Each structure stands twice: as C-alpha cells, then as structure tokens.
Structure 1
Amino acid sequence: MQFLARRENGFLARRDVDAVEEMDKPDCDPVLLDRTYSQFGLINATVAGWRRTWAAQIRPRLSSSRPSTLLDIGSGGGDMPRAFARWAARDGLQLSILGIDPDDRAHAFATSQPPVLGLTFRRAFSTELVAEGLKFDVVTSNHLLHHLAPEDLQSLLADSEQLSRGIALHNDIERSRLGYHLFSLGTLPLRRSLIRRDGLTSIRRSYTAAELASVAPPGWEVTARFPSHNLLVHRASDA
C-alpha cells in the first residue's frame, strides 16, 4: 500500500522528457498519421481555447482596411491556420497567413487540403525565416512547446521575438492530473488514430505554468488557461 501511495504521489510530478510521441517517429504509420492530422481540428476546437485568444489578443490587432500578417510555427496538418483564416474572413479582416512545418508528412497533408484564400504553407524552420529577415504582425504556435528539447525551445522563442513586430502567442498543454484523466476519457472513441495515445504522451511531456515561466526568457509572460493549457506571450512593445 505504501508503494502504491508513493507511485500515486509521483504521477505527473515531473515532465517525462524521455517519452516520444508516435507521430514524431520517422517510421510512424502513415495511415494513422493522416487520420490524426484530420482529427486535430476537432480536438483543438474542443480544448485549445483559441477562439478566446483570437477575440482578446489577435483580432484587436487586425484591420478591415489594412493588411496584416500571421505566422503559425509548427502548423502540422494546418487546422489552426485554416481556423484563423475562417475567423478573419468572418470578421471582415485583411489577414495573410503562413503556416510552416519542417516535417514533410505534415506539409504534404496540409497542402493536400482545399486551398483557402490568404493562406499558404511552407516546409521550413523558423530560423530560415529569421535569416530571410521576415516579419509578421502575429506569431503563433499550438501544442508545440512540449515537443522541443530545451535548446530548441530557447531557439524558438528567440526566433519568435525576431519574427514578430506585434505579438507572439505560444499555446501549449499544461501537465495536470485532471487534464490527463479528462483527455483519457474524452478520447476513448478515437481509436483509429494516434490522438489518444500521443495526446496522453504530450501531457506527460508538457510544462506546468510555473515550469514554463522558469525557462521562459525575460519579456515573456505565462498565463494558465482552462482547460489545462498555458499561453506564453511576448509583445514587441514590451521588449
């Protein structure tokens, strides 16, 4: 009983940095991977909280008369850039969006979907865009930070500061028991993809708000968001 109690107390106490998501493996089943990309839209619409962030942080920076630009880093299958494009069109805003991802498989899936006006995808790292001197009004990423090694996280945040002339918003999962158990139950029907398996691995790899704040450079602010998410924000005017 004491052994079981110790195990329970230690569950999710630390980041499981050695856990690897199936979709990050080069030999990942391509059928399962494509099914996973196709289901990300549903998952992100349910748990990621971007509609609230769009309304509070992004939409006020855009205009119906002046063109604006948004860069989504690690765009995966492209569901979030597509959502941003829909919301901008709905709100009558001029917005050009670039989604980047270095993974050939993600890029192939994203570009295989129906085209959206004002949205383009590119297979690239953020460092390549920095080297090209590109700037964007808004820089975003979704569920990316927990994938990165410590040095890659610092590189991403440095690139985000260079690429953004307005605001950078990195939205990621927060590690918690409640989030783990709710996601485990809520995704039980999604058995023909990697959503459940990799999602639980992602939670084990993810940061708490305090952990993320401790590794974020000066000028970045962490806000814990419901349900079980962290929003890491940098405003160019604050630098």
Structure 2
Amino acid sequence: MTPLAQRDDTLREIMDDPDCDPVRLRRTLERFSLVNRLVAGWGTVYRTRIAPALRAAPGPVRILDIGCGGGDVLRMLVRRARRDGFDATGLGVDPDERGLAVACATPASGVTYRAARSADLVAAGERFDVVVSNHVLHHLSASEMTTLLDDSMRLTRRIALHSDIARSPLAYALYAAGITPLAPGTFLRTDGLRSIRRSRTAAEFAALRLPEWTVSRPVPFRVLLTHAVVSARDLPAAGARTHGEATP
C-alpha cells in the first residue's frame, strides 16, 4: 500500500503549534494568498455556485468564512460579489489570533474579522447568505467535521461550501515540485505536503454518508462539500455528484 492510499490523520502541521516560529508563520499565511489564487479554485466556485445563490437574495448579502486564516479567500469573494453588483459584506472567524493579525493587516472594504468558532456564531443567532471554509476539513476528525457541517447549515440562509484538498499521488508530486519557489522562509512545503496526506478523497467523503451535503470536484485536486438551501435549479449540475456518487 502506498503512503497516500490512506489518510494519515496522525500528522500535525507545524503552523498548528502555538510555539512555532512567528515570522515563518506570518510569511506562510501571507503567501497563502498566492497559493490559493493558483490552485484553490474559488474563482470557479464563486462563478458556478456562489453568484447564482446570491442572485436569489432579496437585499444585502453576508458571507462568512470559517477558519479564515489570513483572510484572502474572504476578501476575494466579497470583492467579486461587489464587482457583480451585490451589496456584500464578509465576516472571517478563526480561533487563532495569529492568523487574524495577518488578516487585519490587509484591510478590505466590507470585510471584518473576529476571534470565534462556528459554534459561537450559532449561539449568537447569526445568519449568513453564504458560508465557506478553505482547507479546514483536513484538520478535523469525523466528529469535528460533522459538528462544523451542522453549524454551517444553521448559519446559512442560502448555501454553504467547504473546499479542501483531494488527496492523490499526483497532487502530492505536483505540489512538492511547484511550491519550491514560494517555500523559503515559510512552512508552505512541509505543511502543504502534510495537509495532502491528511486530506480525504471524494470517495472517502462520500463514504461518510453526510446527509444534506453533496460532494463534487469543481477543479483539479480539490473536493467541495455543498449544502444548498436555494433551489437546486439555481446551481449548476455539471460536475456535481451526490454524496453516494463521488469518485476518487
């Protein structure tokens, strides 16, 4: 059996250590902005899933990013929504204030950040039109992920989307080679490769039998969990599979 044949949930990322090098951590979070633009596929997800959901909203829209880290994904989504004419604001939450410090260092109109978890927002009765997370799920156990997904359904009025890495030997090899120019002075290479080994495949997500969530592969090397409150006809069917139909 190859090392990537099974998820390795024993690995820990360096940046999750509260005592890790703060300078290297800051550089890592700052460079995530470029890495996410190159490979995370949020432009496609915005165009095919988020924008159609926002068009069903009657007024101002709120976007929530859970585990926002440096905040680059949230800033991009709010910027795209505003460019498309939506009266959009965004909230990024993360329990790690080190990441929030990096996020707050890049202000964006309509975007705020808060040290909080999804459960805190549920308890406060908060609601959002769009709920997202990026590269959070591989950090979680099955029970922790179920809690996050349940919170997301309570928090969203329209759609919730959780994007993560889809583990594969090709993803591992390409990332190992491609990240090299960006990696010096950061945790990008070590933590990125560990993240891939911790990540679930689409088939593994499907095997969890998550009610009310669909599993899809909108872009290469990524898996997307979607819970849509809006009518299914408002979202594209191309490329999407139900949780029982996902393929590796």
| Global fold match (TM > 0.5) | yes
Equivalent residue letter for 2:194 = T
Equivalent residue letter for 2:219 = F
Match of 1:221 among 214, 217, 228: 214
Match of residue 96 from structure 1: 89
CA 1:162 to 1:65, structure 2 compared with 1: closer, same or farther past 3 Å?
Answer: closer
Aligned to 2:159, the other structure's residue is in SS state strand
Query: Distance in 2 between the 1:221 and 1:227 partners?
Result: 17
Match of residue 143 from structure 2: 151
RMSD of Structure 2 on Structure 1 (CA): 1.7
- How many residues align? The count is 230
Equivalent residue letter for 1:175 = R
Query: Distance in 1 between the 2:209 and 2:159 partners?
Result: 15
Q: Sequence identity, in percent?
A: 48
Query: Distance in 2 between the 1:71 and 1:197 partners?
Result: 29
CA deviation after TM superposition for structure 1 residue 165, in Å: 1.2
CA deviation after TM superposition for structure 1 residue 196, in Å: 1.1
Q: Is the 8 A contact 1:98 1:119 kept in 2?
A: yes
Match of residue 41 from structure 2: 49
Aligned to 2:217, the other structure's residue is in SS state strand
Query: Distance in 1 between the 2:209 and 2:39 partners?
Result: 23
- Is there any run of 5+ residues in structure 1 with no aligned partner, and where? 1-8
Q: Please give the residue correspondences for 1:64-103 in structure 2 after superposition, counting only pairs within 5 Å.
A: 66-103=59-96
Query: Distance in 1 between the 2:47 and 2:148 partners?
Result: 25
Query: Distance in 2 between the 1:17 and 1:60 partners?
Result: 35
CA 1:238 to 1:160, structure 2 compared with 1: closer, same or farther past 3 Å?
Answer: farther
1:26 and 2:6 correspond: no
Match of 1:209 among 183, 202, 207: 202
Equivalent residue letter for 2:16 = D
Match of residue 120 from structure 2: 128
Match of residue 169 from structure 1: 161
CA deviation after TM superposition for structure 1 residue 12, in Å: 0.3
CA deviation after TM superposition for structure 1 residue 216, in Å: 4.7
CA deviation after TM superposition for structure 1 residue 96, in Å: 1.0
The 10-residue stretch of structure 1 (163-172 or 207-216) with the greater mean CA deviation from structure 2? 207-216
Equivalent residue letter for 2:73 = M
The 10-residue stretch of structure 1 (115-124 or 57-66) with the greater mean CA deviation from structure 2? 57-66
CA 1:128 to 1:65, structure 2 compared with 1: closer, same or farther past 3 Å?
Answer: closer
Q: Is the 8 A contact 2:45 2:218 kept in 1?
A: no
Equivalent residue letter for 2:205 = L
Query: Distance in 1 between the 2:218 and 2:4 partners?
Result: 19
Q: Is the 8 A contact 2:63 2:78 kept in 1?
A: no
Aligned to 1:156, the other structure's residue is in SS state helix
Q: Deviations over 1:100-142 (max 9, x none)?
A: 00001111211122x2111110000000000011111110000
- Is there any run of 5+ residues in structure 2 with no aligned partner, and where? 233-248
Q: Is the 8 A contact 1:62 1:94 kept in 2?
A: no
Match of residue 240 from structure 2: none
Query: Distance in 2 between the 1:61 and 1:204 partners?
Result: 33
CA 1:157 to 1:32, structure 2 compared with 1: closer, same or farther past 3 Å?
Answer: same
Q: Deviations over 1:209-234 (max 9, x none)?
A: 01012225211000123321100001
Query: Distance in 2 between the 1:225 and 1:85 partners?
Result: 20
